[in-house]
C-alpha cells in the first residue's frame, strides 16, 4: 500500500500535476454526495478560450485555475442608454436599459444617454455536468465574467475561486454565479466582489439540491443601488423547487437581498456571519420556507425585511423537540450585536427537511472566526 501511494505521488509530480489540485472536503446539507469531476485527471487551462471549452464540454473534468483569467475586453464593449433610478451621485449604480427595463419599471428616473460597459460580463460561461472548477492556492481568479449552471446540468463543484469586477458600476451588467434548472451543486470557499447585480442567483427553474458554504460574499463597492458603499443585489433564490443549504458564509457590506428567497424554495441558513448591512439581510417573499439557526448578525440594521409573505422558523430554544425530529439536532439560537432580529416560529415548514441531508449546526458563539476563514485562498 505504501509503495502504491509513493508511485501515485511520484507520477503526479512527473506529469506536472500537484497532488493538492483536487477538491477539499465534502459538501454538507442538501448537496451532500456531489462529486463534480470525480477522479478525472486535472486540466490546467492557459487561455480564456480554453477555460470556456473545458467548462462547457461533455467530459467529466477537474479544472484547476493557476492564475487570473481576465475576460475584460475579450468580447468588446457595448454602448447603450440607461437610467439613474437611485440618484445621480457618483456612488450610485446606473441601470443599463436591458429589455427596456428603464422604460417599463423606472419611467420617471433620470435618463442616461450613453453607458459603455464590457460585453463579456453580461452572460456567464456555461458549465456542463460532472465538473469541478477549483483554484490553486490563492491564484484562481476569474475577472470580468461569471458562470452559468443551467439546462439540467448536475453534479458540479466550484471551490476556492474568486469572481470579481463584473461591470460593478452598472445594474444588468452580469451576475457572478447563475444556477437555473440544475441539481447537486456545491459552491465552496468562493469569493465574490465588485459584481454588477447578483453574486449568486438561483433562477425560476427548479434547481434541486444546492449547498453554498464557506463563501465570502463581499458587497463593499464604490457603486451601489443604495448609494452607500453597500451592494444591494446579494443573493437571489427564487427557484420553483429548490433545496438550498447556506452554511458558514461571510455575508457583509450589503444592503438587501442577502438573500432574497421566494418561489418554492426551502432554505437552511445555518452558522453564517452577517456583517455591516445598511438596510436588511433576508427577504422572505411568497413561497419561501426559511429555517435560520446559529447565525451571527453584527451591525445589521434589519436581519429580515418585514411585511413579506415567506414562512419562517428562526429556531427558538422552546421548540427543540421539533428541531430534533426534522433536522436531527437541537436548534441553535441566532446571535445579534447592534442588529435587528429574526422572528418566526412556523414549525410546519420543518417537514420539508424530512428525509433530506441536513447540515449540522454549531452554537453561534463557535463561529466568530468565519470572517477569517471564509472565501478563496483559505482552504
Q: Output the DSSP codes for 199-214.
A: SEEE-SS--EEEEEES
Q: Active-site residue among 61, 162, 197, 257?
A: 257
Per residue in 57-87, pLDDT (tens digit) is: 999 999 999 999 999 999 999 999 999 999 9
Q: In this structure, which topology does domain 28-73+120-373 adopt according to CATH?
A: Pectate Lyase C-like (2.160.20)
- Please determine, for residue 10, whether its predicted confidence score (pLDDT) is greater than 60: no
Residue 18 has a pLDDT of 59
- Please determine, for residue 1, whether its predicted confidence score (pLDDT) is greater than 70: no
Share of the chain above pLDDT 70, in %: 95
Q: What is the pTM of this model?
A: 0.95
The radius of gyration of the chain's CA atoms, rounded to the nearest angstrom, is 21
Residue 300 has a pLDDT of 98
Kindly report the average pLDDT of the chain as a whole number: 94
**Does 209 qualify as catalytic in the annotation?**
no
Q: How far apart are CA 142 and CA 176, in angstroms?
A: 10
> Mean pLDDT, to the nearest integer, of 365-369?
98
Question: Of the candidates 187, 321, 157, which has an alpha carbon nearest to the alpha carbon of residue 247?
Answer: 187
Q: How far apart are CA 84 and CA 86, in angstroms?
A: 6
Question: Of the candidates 275, 334, 273, which has an alpha carbon nearest to the alpha carbon of residue 299?
Answer: 275
Give the helix/strand (H/E) hosting 178.
strand 177-180
- Please determine, for residue 329, whether its predicted confidence score (pLDDT) is greater than 90: yes
- Please determine, for residue 351, whether its predicted confidence score (pLDDT) is greater than 60: yes
DSSP β-bridge partners for residue 247: 213, 270
Q: How far apart are CA 272 and CA 262, in angstroms?
A: 20
- Please determine, for residue 3, whether its predicted confidence score (pLDDT) is greater than 50: no
- Please determine, for residue 371, whether its predicted confidence score (pLDDT) is greater than 80: yes
> Mean pLDDT, to the nearest integer, of 264-283?
98
Query: What is the grid cell recorded at 314?
Result: 428562526
Q: Which residue ranges make up each domain of the chain? A: 28-73+120-373
Amino acid at each position: 500500500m505504501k509503495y502504491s501511494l509513493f508511485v501515485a505521488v511520484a507520477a503526479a509530480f512527473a506529469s506536472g500535476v500537484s497532488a493538492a489540485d483536487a477538491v477539499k472536503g465534502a459538501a454538507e446539507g442538501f448537496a451532500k454526495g456531489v462529486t463534480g469531476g470525480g477522479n478525472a485527471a486535472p486540466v490546467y487551462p492557459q487561455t480564456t478560450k480554453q477555460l470556456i471549452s473545458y467548462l462547457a464540454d461533455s467530459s467529466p473534468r477537474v479544472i484547476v485555475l493557476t492564475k487570473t483569467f481576465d475576460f475584460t475586453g475579450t468580447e468588446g464593449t457595448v454602448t447603450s442608454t440607461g437610467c439613474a433610478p437611485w440618484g445621480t451621485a457618483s456612488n450610485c449604480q446606473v441601470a443599463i436599459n436591458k429589455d427596456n427595463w428603464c422604460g417599463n419599471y423606472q419611467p420617471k428616473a433620470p435618463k442616461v444617454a450613453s453607458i459603455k460597459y464590457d460585453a463579456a460580463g453580461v452572460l456567464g460561461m456555461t458549465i456542463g455536468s460532472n465538473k469541478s472548477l477549483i483554484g490553486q492556492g490563492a491564484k484562481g481568479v476569474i475577472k470580468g465574467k461569471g458562470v452559468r449552471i443551467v439546462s439540467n446540468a448536475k453534479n458540479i463543484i466550484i471551490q476556492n475561486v474568486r469572481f470579481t469586477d463584473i461591470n460593478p458600476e452598472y445594474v444588468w451588467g452580469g451576475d457572478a454565479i447563475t444556477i437555473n434548472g440544475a441539481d447537486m451543486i456545491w459552491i465552496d470557499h468562493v469569493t465574490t466582489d465588485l459584481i454588477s447585480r447578483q453574486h449568486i442567483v438561483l433562477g425560476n427553474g427548479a434547481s434541486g439540491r444546492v449547498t453554498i458554504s464557506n463563501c465570502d460574499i463581499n458587497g463593499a463597492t464604490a457603486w451601489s443601488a443604495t448609494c452607500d458603499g453597500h451592494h444591494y443585489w446579494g443573493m437571489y433564490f427564487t427557484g420553483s423547487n429548490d433545496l438550498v443549504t447556506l452554511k458558514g458564509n461571510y455575508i457583509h457590506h450589503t444592503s438587501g437581498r442577502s438573500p432574497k428567497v421566494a418561489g418554492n424554495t426551502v432554505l437552511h441558513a445555518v452558522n453564517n456571519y452577517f456583517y455591516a448591512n445598511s438596510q436588511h439581510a433576508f427577504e422572505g417573499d411568497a413561497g419561501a420556507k426559511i429555517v435560520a439557526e446559529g447565525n451571527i448578525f453584527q451591525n445589521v440594521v434589519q436581519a429580515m425585511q418585514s411585511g413579506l409573505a415567506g414562512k419562517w422558523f428562526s429556531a427558538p430554544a422552546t421548540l427543540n423537540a421539533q428541531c430534533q425530529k426534522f433536522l436531527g439536532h437541537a436548534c441553535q439560537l441566532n446571535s445579534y450585536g447592534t442588529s435587528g432580529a429574526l422572528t418566526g416560529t412556523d414549525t410546519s415548514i420543518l417537514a420539508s427537511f424530512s428525509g433530506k441531508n441536513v447540515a449540522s449546526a454549531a452554537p453561534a458563539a463557535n463561529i466568530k472566526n468565519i470572517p477569517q476563514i471564509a472565501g478563496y485562498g483559505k482552504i
